[in-house]
Structure formats: C-alpha cells, structure tokens
C-alpha cells in the first residue's frame, strides 16, 4: 500500500489534460454565446443573423434520420465523445518520475532523462565497464554497458547491483525493473 505522500506525488505529475480541456471549453463557450445571442436577439425582434437559422431549419426539415450525412455526423460525434472519455478515464503517465520523500508536504519529481543518466553513471563506475547507457520505459530500465569483454558474467551482475543500488537511493514511487545488456567492445 502506498503512503499518502507517494500518492500525492504520483498525482502531482500526472498530465492535467489542460489542452483538451481548453479546446472543449472554448468550443462550448462559442456554442453557448452563438445560440444565446441568436435566440435572444430574435426574441427581441432584431435577429443578429449569427447563425443561418432559416437554412438550418430547411435542411433539418428535408433530411431524414437515416440519411448518410446524418449518420456520418452522428458517428463522428460519438467518436469524439469516446475520445474525450478515454482522455478523462486514462490517468496518463506522470511526466516526471515521482520520488518518495517520506514528508507529506514535500513532493519531488525527477526528469526521466536525469534518472536514466544517473543510472548510466552508476553502471559506468563498475570496474570493467567502459561506457554505459540507460533508457527508462514504462516500468523498466534497460542498461546497456559496453565492457572490455573480460569476465562478463561478474561484470553483468555487478552492473545490475550498482544500478539497483542507485535506483534504491533515488527511490521512485513506482518500482522499476532493471534489465542489463552487455556489449563487448571490439
């Protein structure tokens, strides 16, 4: 079970869906203003003519529910709704790696690139390793170490241990699995 501080950290760095929210809010605002302006001005006896009401009414009076444009439009609207639902329901991956702090008032997030670089650095310090790269994906860290080709078995184990030690020090809220690949320098 995660602590409240850890959960707050994960939540803090989740995408906020600001862009889709802004777009949808702007469209709704536009719709509301257009309809309100048109209807109220018509009620006051001076239609503003923002919407081609006559043409829309003629079209809707002549088009049946089963006509292809209506069906196509309905499908597009339903798909757009589904897309928004997916955006709303999927939490999205945090853009920073949340790190445990043990202090509910303090939230720390690290750039994924920084975590990868730190792990690569830890791997490159292992004797026998010439250079190392690390890549962070969903829940795994892949470390590729270039070795001199001498005693690879022990080097691999040592790299794994060094990377795991550094990872434990960084302390991400969500656990990562470490995969080590060795590449022999020729």
Q: Which is nearer to other proteins, 116 or 182 (CB)?
A: 116
Do 144 and 133 touch, CB atoms closer than 8 A? yes
Q: In the sheet where 140-147 sits, what is the strand order?
A: 129-137, 140-147, 177-184
Q: Contact with other proteins (CB under 8 A): which of 7, 51, 96, 160? A: 96
Q: Which is nearer to other proteins, 45 or 186 (CB)?
A: 45
Q: Which is nearer to other proteins, 7 or 152 (CB)?
A: 7
Q: Contact with other proteins (CB under 8 A): which of 2, 11, 22, 184? A: 22
Cα dihedral 7/10/16/17 (nearest 10): -110
CA gap 9, 173 in Å, rounded: 8
Distance of CA 165 to the CA centre of its chain: 28
SS3 91: coil
Nearest 5°: the CA angle 173, 110, 94 is: 60
CA gap 150, 19 in Å, rounded: 52
Q: Which is nearer to other proteins, 12 or 160 (CB)?
A: 12
CB contact set of 169 (below 8 Å; sequence gap of 6+): none
Where in 155-174 is the site for other proteins (CB under 8 A)? Answer: 169-171
**Binding-residue pattern over the window 44 to 83 for other proteins, x denoting contact by CB under 8 A:** -------------x--xxxxxxxx--xx-xxxxxxxxxxx
Would you count residue 40 as binding other proteins (CB under 8 A)? Answer: yes
**Binding-residue pattern over the window 131 to 160 for other proteins, x denoting contact by CB under 8 A:** ------------------------------
# chain residues binding other proteins, by CB under 8 A: 70
Do 167 and 136 touch, CB atoms closer than 8 A? no
Nearest to 114 by CA among 147, 141, 139: 141
For the bound state, the minimum distance from the C-beta of residue 177 to other proteins, rounded and expressed in Å, comes to: 19
Would you count residue 36 as binding other proteins (CB under 8 A)? Answer: yes
Site residues (vs other proteins, CB under 8 A): 12, 16-18, 20-22, 24-26, 28-29, 31-36, 39-40, 42-43, 57, 60-67, 70-71, 73-89, 96, 99, 101-103, 105-111, 114-115, 117-118, 121, 169-171
């Amino acid at each position: 079970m995660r602590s409240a501080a850890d959960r707050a950290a994960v939540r803090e760095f989740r995408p906020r869906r600001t862009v889709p929210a802004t777009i949808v809010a702007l469209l709704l605002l536009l719709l509301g203003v257009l309809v309100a302006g048109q209807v109220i001005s018509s009620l006051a006896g001076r239609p503003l003519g923002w919407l081609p009401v006559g043409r829309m009414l003629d079209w809707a009076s002549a088009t049946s529910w089963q006509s292809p444009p209506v069906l196509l439009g309905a499908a597009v609207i339903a798909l757009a709704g589904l897309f928004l639902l997916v955006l709303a329901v999927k939490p999205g991956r945090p853009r920073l790696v949340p790190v445990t702090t043990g202090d509910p008032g303090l939230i720390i997030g690290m750039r994924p690139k920084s975590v990868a670089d730190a792990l690569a650095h830890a791997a490159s310090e292992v004797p026998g390793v010439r250079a190392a790269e690390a890549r962070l994906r969903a829940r795994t860290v892949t470390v590729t170490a270039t070795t001199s080709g001498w005693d690879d078995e022990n080097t691999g184990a040592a790299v794994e241990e060094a990377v795991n030690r550094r990872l434990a020090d960084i302390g991400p809220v969500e656990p990562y699995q470490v995969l080590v690949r060795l590449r022999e320098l020729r």
